[in-house]
Amino acid sequence: MNERMSRVELRAGASLAGVYGLRMLGLFFILPVFAVHAVTLEGGADLTLVGIAIGGYGLSQGLLQIPFGMASDRWGRKPLIYSGLLVFAAGSFLGVAATDIWTAIAARVLQGAGAINSVAMALAADLTREQHRTKIMAMIGATIGLTFALSLVGAPVLYRYIGMGGVFALTGVLSFAAIAVVKYWVPDQPPQRENDLPEPSTLRRAFEPELLRLNAGIFILHIVLYAMFVVVPPLLVQTGLPLPEHWKLYLPVVLASFVLMIPGVVYADRKNRPKPVLLAAVALLVAVEAALAALDAGIAALAVLMLGFFAAFNVLEAMLPALVSRIAPAQGRGVAIGVYNTTQTLGVFFGGLLGGWAAMHFGAAAVFGICAALAAVWLLVAAGMRPLGSVNQLTSLTFSIAAGVELEHLRESLAAVRGVREAEVLPRERIAHLKVVTGQWDESKVRKLITGEV
């Protein structure tokens, strides 16, 4: 047994984090500048349409996450990732030609049709053991946060020199770079057999109450994020900070938020107590949004409140997918994560729509007030979450398979051992990943199978 992260797990985490980073960088480059740029587009004075353009990719992505996840369960993760990245690139290049708000909306919707998030997360979960999955998801979450920070800093500068068309073109180039990372760096998914495909009972578990709580949380989190960025960039301009200088606020705030994020994630991982950390982060989100709604904040107050927002956001963005991957059944993991990503990306769409509509009719304070109310609802929902130990009493283990052991039927033999709930064999690495019932599995039988002893 090896309780440390294997080279395959490290490589999988780093490479998939890179894929996420390249793709999300392309999406995030639009976020900090579009609300200010929109006034130069035909029809861009309508804030509701601006909000739809900002969050539009979430609608098509939300509708396609589950089909992509199901397809990846049947036909493999990598082919679906390649096709999704190509569609995303096509949407990016359409955005280069956008001179009106409707073409911009169409470009964002086409970008979202490359719905690979669920597939990439499922592949990350396929290649890692449960006890390391929080670390891998935290790597991905931290990378997303870093790309978010980079976009906040770099997008205003890029917009100044290459314009919105250049920013869209750059997102297409980044998508091609992500394809190269998948091809040359991401490990292959363990081969699936026909009986590995999800059964109807397994699919139903993708909608069990604990997963629904997490899905509701990511939905609200992304409503809040995208609604805020309909109004925050214009607010910063109103306080006297020009768009090209927004990085002066974002950079220190986001970097400091990463430092604040680390203790909570480490505590949740090492103590196996994610619930109190999650509740604390959601409570902080409620407080920040309520303060933004109540205060006529100047630049210093905005910086402090944005620090609190990003600290909460980073913790939640790292923890939620890790919890989903731990609770979801392995054979239907692509579907379960597809449901999760569907709610996430629909939150993107409704956040942009709600933020634009509320800002247009009631002003920025109303946007923050709605966000505070939604976060408070999430806090109530999350308070009923069961401790993780009562959800899952399983332990993930990894074994090296002896050289003389025949691999053809090993997975089935391991899966039939008492106390073994899930078995996965990686032929190339000669490694077996097992999920066993703690204290109840037949260790001697497992060892005989992987060593070839009689």
Is residue 391 scored above 60 in pLDDT? no
Residues 227-278 pLDDT 10s: 999 999 999 999 999 988 888 898 888 889 888 888 887 887 777 778 899 9
Lowest mean pLDDT among 7-11, 182-186, 358-362: 7-11
User: What is the predicted pLDDT for the residue at 416?
Assistant: 87
DSSP secondary structure string, 352-391? HHHHHHHHHHH-HHHHHHHHHHHHHHHHHHHHTPPPHHHH
Average pLDDT, the chain: 84
* Position 394 confidence tier, pLDDT thresholds 50, 70, 90: low
Q: What is the pTM of this model?
A: 0.73
* Position 454 confidence tier, pLDDT thresholds 50, 70, 90: low
* Position 5 confidence tier, pLDDT thresholds 50, 70, 90: confident
- How far apart CA 219 and CA 68 sit, in angstroms, is 19
CB 322 within 8 A of CB 346: no
User: What is the predicted pLDDT for the residue at 2?
Assistant: 47
The CA-CA-CA angle for residues 201, 346, 266, to 5°, reads 75
Residues 102-157 pLDDT 10s: 999 999 999 989 888 778 877 887 787 766 766 777 777 778 777 877 888 889 88
- How far apart CA 418 and CA 442 sit, in angstroms, is 6
Is residue 88 scored above 90 in pLDDT? yes
* Position 441 confidence tier, pLDDT thresholds 50, 70, 90: confident
Q: Please name the residues in contact with 329: beta carbons below 8 A apart, sequence gap of 6 or more.
A: 198, 202, 205, 206, 336
User: What is the predicted pLDDT for the residue at 3?
Assistant: 59
Is residue 193 scored above 60 in pLDDT? no
* Position 195 confidence tier, pLDDT thresholds 50, 70, 90: very low
- How far apart CA 425 and CA 419 sit, in angstroms, is 17
- How far apart CA 231 and CA 329 sit, in angstroms, is 40
Lowest mean pLDDT among 81-85, 351-355, 398-402: 398-402
- How far apart CA 119 and CA 256 sit, in angstroms, is 31
